Structure 1
Amino acid sequence: MSEQNSYQRWRWIPNALTILRILLLPVIFWLHQQGQHMAAVVTFVIAGFSDFFDGRLARHFNWKTQLGAVLDPVADKLLVLFLLPLVWDQAVLLPWLGVLIFLRYLVQLSVFPVLMMWLKRPFKVKPIFPSKLATAVAFAIIALGLLGSFEVLRPVLRWLLEPLAFLGILLEIYVLVTFLPRYWAIIQGRHDTFE
């Protein structure tokens, strides 16, 4: 058996890491609500690393699957949608960022019922850098916001959160504005890839 073939038996790992990220979501939420703030931060960091490693492993060992390509961005969106409201009272711009994220994710998640169930149109997902950066910024804001539960860190973190939230707003607008024409083109059958 070749070395490449021996790696194939582990091809389930990236999808398992993505599923782990989804399963950690209620754990983070519960820990935060119980006042276990450091445990919430550590669990969130583990979830963030799972996002890094699932894609890295899938690309490196060619373990990419259609399920993984769809599940990974859904897991990221669920994490941001459910955890951002926990921290948005810590900076003035965060609620505005939250509204934009909710709007973009609502449009992006509509792809599944519209394209997969209704139109039965195949599509691929290849996120471009601004979309990945928008997710990374949202993750950083959540991590800093969770750390903001520690009163001693709040003044410094508020100083960091405002510019990050402003960057996040710009990125969310850009991604939404570029996503909508591509979505329409895929509905019309002129493209097959979300970027």
Structure 2
Amino acid sequence: MNIPNLITLGRVILVPVVFWLLVTGQTQAAFFAFVLAGVSDAVDGFIAKRFNQSTELGAYLDPLADKLLIVSIFVALGVGGALPSWLVIAVVTRDILIVVGVMLSWLLDHPVRIAPLIVSKANTVAQIVLAGTVLADDGFGLGLETLRITLVWVAGALTIASLAAYLRAWLRHMSG
């Protein structure tokens, strides 16, 4: 256990806090907690790389913390009507299917190497930008409806494209 992993664990602990803030209508506070989570992600990554403190635990924990935060925000915003249900379902389904695929490959004694694809990185960026935009718009009344609609469609398209790319890579791996 080192400082970057402790920071990442702090981000995991922040997930239910952000979810609770959203469910209770405290969008401004949720926005600031989301920004804090983003800063902590950058800080733990910087420390791990700069001071050679990267660990196997951190390699799994960091993306897990990010996914937990994004999925919980998307679910809370979907339940509250700030994001369309189809997008929330697509985001959650994609992540579940990726986890199931990895677990299935391990169970079949043909483990798949976990490596993010370029489309997946673009998808993550789109989801983060969308979540931050919705939180800021709802929290501060910025009037970003057109931008939100555009980001919903971009995130939706990238979520589907990312799932298709992972499915293709997984099928190749499992059959070869």
Category of TM-score, reference length = shorter chain = 0.7 to 0.9
Match of residue 79, structure 1, among 69, 78, 81: 69
Q: Does 1:90 align with 2:82?
A: yes
Q: Deviations over 1:39-60 (max 9, x none)?
A: 2111111112222333333333
Q: How does 1:43-192 map to 2 (within 5 A)?
A: 43-88=33-78, 89-90=81-82, 94-116=84-106, 118-150=107-139, 152-153=141-142, 156-188=143-175, 190=176
What is the total number of aligned residue pairs between the two structures?
Answer: 174
Q: Deviations over 1:9-43 (max 9, x none)?
A: xx722222222221101111122233332221111
Match of residue 19, structure 2, among 19, 23, 29: 29
On the 8 A contact 1:21/1:50 being kept in 2, the answer is yes
CA drift at 1:113: 3.0
CA drift at 1:171: 1.1
Partner residue in 2 for 1:193: none
Answer with 1 or 2: which has the greater Rg: 1
On the 8 A contact 1:90/1:148 being kept in 2, the answer is no
CA distance in 2, matches of 1:55, 1:23: 18
CA distance in 2, matches of 1:144, 1:128: 24
Q: Give the 3 Å change call, closer, same or farther, for CA 21–173 of structure 1 in structure 2.
A: same
CA distance in 2, matches of 1:65, 1:106: 25
| Identical-pair percentage | 32
On the 8 A contact 2:34/2:132 being kept in 1, the answer is yes
The TM-score normalised by the length of structure 2 is 0.82
Q: Deviations over 1:164-190 (max 9, x none)?
A: 1111122112211111122234445x5
Q: Deviations over 1:131-190 (max 9, x none)?
A: 12211221222222223334733xx222211111111122112211111122234445x5
On the 8 A contact 1:48/1:139 being kept in 2, the answer is no
The one-letter amino acid paired with 2:152 is A
CA distance in 2, matches of 1:32, 1:178: 32
CA distance in 1, matches of 2:111, 2:59: 13
The one-letter amino acid paired with 2:82 is Q
CA distance in 1, matches of 2:111, 2:46: 24
Unaligned runs of 5+ in 2: none
CA distance in 1, matches of 2:3, 2:91: 29
